[in-house]
Amino acid sequence: MKTILITGATDGLGRHVAVRLGQAGARVVVHGRDPAKAERVRAEVAGAGGPDPQVVVADLADLHAVDRMADDVADRIPRLDVLVNNAGVGFGTPGSGREVSRDGIELRFAVNYLAGHHLTRRLIPLLTRSAPARIVNVASLGQARLDFADLLTERDYDGSRAYCRSKLAQIMDTIDLADELGDQAVTANALHPATFMATSMVKEAGSAPLNTVETGGDALMRLIDSPASDTTSGRFFDGLKEAGAHAQAYDPEARRKLREMADALLADALRR
């Protein structure tokens, strides 16, 4: 029986896939920031036949909470076959201003990239002990070049650009993870599940849905379940097909700069 942790599992794609995994007989670890919502999804997974679903609660906009969540998972979950970094913040409402996390970091960069980056590194010992294991980062076709002189989008803020930068950072991190874990039987891949699924994130942005969460769920389930994902690593997928990411994702020097700046942001936040 596989154990699969899904961040952002209380709504949209995460909730849909959590229930599907329960139906398939996987042990699902449901993450959410709202305990009541997470408990409702846990009950839904259990009702679908999911064996012993668990709940972990954390606000990923708080890096100390991410640390506590990692400790909780390591203490309670004896093995972890798949980590799905699905939680995210969208464009925001049209015309909304720049937001920051509890740690003072631009919110989309903090939640969409930095929280998953930190959580994954904290859980690597558990993943490697459980190998073969997988990491799936739910990213996006929407990607924008990182400006290392303005990594946190402080100048001329635009929610769409901040979101697209955070998603490119997530893909860059996926490639680094594949390099780091290449000989440890843990794969890492990034996925654009579907464009404008019918989710609260898309509704908040004022966009009309173009796809269902079922369509995105099929793509995510493939990376979770497909035997090919035991050996495929460091790739970006658009739905069911491998695709090319933004060119900056394949620049080792850009990835090095991102790692260094992320490490500095983490160190500063966690020492407070």
Known active-site residue 250: no
From residue 194, how far is each of 9, 176, 205 by CA, in Å? 17, 24, 16
Contact 171, 242 (CB under 8 A): no
CA distance 192 to 87: 13
Cα–Cα distance measured from residue 148 to residue 226, given in angstroms and rounded to the nearest whole number: 36
189: β partners: 136, 235
3-state secondary structure (DSSP) of residue 4: strand
- Residue among 113, 157, 163, 250 flagged as catalytic: 163
If you ran DSSP here, which 8-state letter would residue 205 be given?
A: T
Spell out the residues 6+ positions from residue 204 whose beta carbon is closer than 8 angstroms to its own: 90, 91, 92, 93
Look at residues 144, 205, 149 and name the one whose alpha carbon lies nearest to residue 169: 144
Which residues are known catalytic residues? 163
